[in-house]
Amino acid sequence: MARRKQKKTRGNPSGAARLLLVAFLLLLVVAGGAVWLVYTPYGPHREIFVDIAPGASAVHIGRQLEEAGVIRSRFGFYLVRWLSRGKLLAGEYRFDHPATVDEVYTRIVRGDVYTVAVVIPEGATVFDIGARIQQAGLGTKQQFVREQARLVGLIADLDPGAKSLEGYLFPDTYRFTRKATTAQIAAAMVHQFRLAAAQLGLKENVHAVVTMASLVERETAVNADRPLVASVFQNRLDRKMPLMTDPSVIYGLELAGEWRGAIYQSDLKRNTPYNTYLHAGLPPGPIANPGIRSLRAAMHPARTDYLYFVAADTNPQGQSHFSATLEEHARAVAGYRSAVKKAGAR
């Protein structure tokens, strides 16, 4: 009897093949989910701050971000951490728009912490700086003014007799975290002054140079005039003539809480240590915080025979007219008053 040939079964995949197919499909789903978690923007439409503590683990940071609503899932963060590595930096971070987990992670590795900008212009006083710090939400004006006076030890080697940090809070643009204290802010400004002093080679007679520079800073905003103004003050000091500078009088009134916003003839007779009409020589200390150009002018005054100067016109940012004699100065003053009168008539 002939044997029948057994037919092979076709079209039915084995169990192993089915498992491979299922595993592949699951892998696609997982990969797609991971891509969705990592690269689909998510997050707040309003301002949110997340403060990452020093030494916080990636697990803790991922949980923080998820609970704050910055990322959709901590697991997406862990995945990026596993793929990217990098050191996660502590600090306060600000999030105000939806972003991918990858973008959030990159910001933390980069240390893109939130800071507040504080611009200190040349010639600002401790009172002006305090007002700007208050405006930035980093403390009150009164707190800063009190704190900087307690921190005179920061400049003990530069100015042993200083009663405050006036003159040593260098004008610049600073960026501080919201947790910065007034002491840290003042220390940063003193540090910047030291860098400027080193650049200029300022090592001797620091008190006198900074005091002179503060007068120059408050008297002119014109760079070309700074060495000339410094020469006038130096020439008057050499002749033991009073400096007779209004900004110094104003500063004394401000310290006494008597500044009325404008200077009057009676103010010139008010006997404060800073009244350079009544007292010869430099005032007791700086009356403002000078920039590097005024510091340089105080260190290297122009060589002139000038003893007087007055504004050449009514523009407060304009140049001054310099004179060597009282008669010439009187003519320059008359010209200035005439310009003021004409400006008022227009």
- For residue 163, the domain's CATH number is 3.30.1490
- What pLDDT does residue 312 have? 72
Same domain for 59 and 105? Answer: yes
Mean pLDDT score of the chain: 90
- What pLDDT does residue 4 have? 52
Q: Would 100 be classed as within a structural domain?
A: yes
Residues 323-346 have pLDDT tens digits of 999 999 999 888 888 877 776 655
Q: Would 1 be classed as within a structural domain?
A: no
Select the more confidently predicted residue: 110 or 19. 110
How would residue 314 be classed by pLDDT, with cut points 50, 70 and 90? low
Q: Would 332 be classed as within a structural domain?
A: yes
Phi, psi of 95 (to 5 degrees): -125, 130
Q: Would 287 be classed as within a structural domain?
A: yes
CATH code where residue 57 lies: 3.30.1490.480
pLDDT beyond 60 at 269: yes
pLDDT beyond 80 at 58: yes
Find out whether 144 and 124 touch, Cβ atoms under 8 Å. no
pLDDT beyond 60 at 3: no
Same domain for 194 and 297? Answer: no
Same domain for 95 and 156? Answer: no
- Domain containing 189 equals 116-200
Q: Would 183 be classed as within a structural domain?
A: yes
Find out whether 307 and 243 touch, Cβ atoms under 8 Å. no
Cα-Cα-Cα-Cα torsion 174, 178, 182, 183, nearest 10 degrees, comes to -90
**19-33, 163-177, 179-193, 243-257: lowest mean pLDDT where?**
19-33
Q: What is the DSSP letter of 70?
A: S
**78-82, 287-291, 303-307: lowest mean pLDDT where?**
78-82
Distance CA 200, CA 293 (A): 10
pLDDT beyond 80 at 9: no
Q: Which of these three, 165, 200, 235, is where a domain ends?
A: 200
Find out whether 171 and 120 touch, Cβ atoms under 8 Å. yes
Same domain for 136 and 176? Answer: yes
- What pLDDT does residue 286 have? 98
The Cβ of residue 81 has, within 10 Å, a number of other Cβ atoms equal to 20
Find out whether 23 and 31 touch, Cβ atoms under 8 Å. no
Select the more confidently predicted residue: 21 or 91. 91
- In the three-class reduction of DSSP (H, G, I as helix; E, B as strand; rest coil), residue 328 is classed as helix
Q: Would 18 be classed as within a structural domain?
A: no
Share of the chain above pLDDT 70, in %: 88
**171-175, 200-204, 219-223, 342-346: lowest mean pLDDT where?**
342-346
Find out whether 243 and 215 touch, Cβ atoms under 8 Å. yes
How confident is the model over 190-210, as a mean pLDDT? 97
Same domain for 47 and 128? Answer: no
Share of the chain above pLDDT 90, in %: 76
Select the more confidently predicted residue: 83 or 275. 275
Same domain for 233 and 341? Answer: yes
* Lookup: tokens for 286: 């700086």
Same domain for 172 and 50? Answer: no
- What pLDDT does residue 14 have? 74
Same domain for 126 and 61? Answer: no
Instruction: State the helix-helix crossing angle for 226-238 and 206-219, rounded to 10 degrees.
Output: 120
Select the more confidently predicted residue: 207 or 317. 207
* Number of domains the chain is built from: 3
Q: Which of these three, 65, 83, 110, is where a domain ends?
A: 110
- What pLDDT does residue 1 have? 47
Same domain for 320 and 232? Answer: yes
Residues 100-155 have pLDDT tens digits of 999 999 999 999 999 999 999 999 999 999 999 999 999 999 999 999 999 999 99
Distance CA 79, CA 72 (A): 13
Pick the closest to residue 330 from 314, 307, 302 (CA basis): 307
Distance CA 253, CA 249 (A): 6
* Lookup: tokens for 241: 């003539």
Residues 72-93 have pLDDT tens digits of 999 989 999 988 888 999 999 9
Same domain for 336 and 266? Answer: yes
- What pLDDT does residue 24 have? 55
Phi, psi of 336 (to 5 degrees): -65, -45
Q: Would 93 be classed as within a structural domain?
A: yes
* Lookup: tokens for 240: 């033991």
Q: Which of these three, 71, 93, 110, is where a domain ends?
A: 110
Place of tokens 């998820």: 66
How confident is the model over 283-311, as a mean pLDDT? 96
Same domain for 181 and 302? Answer: no
Q: Would 265 be classed as within a structural domain?
A: yes
155 CB-contact burial (10 Å; exposed 0-12 / middle 13-18 / buried 19+) = buried
Same domain for 302 and 317? Answer: yes
Distance CA 302, CA 110 (A): 48
pLDDT beyond 80 at 205: yes
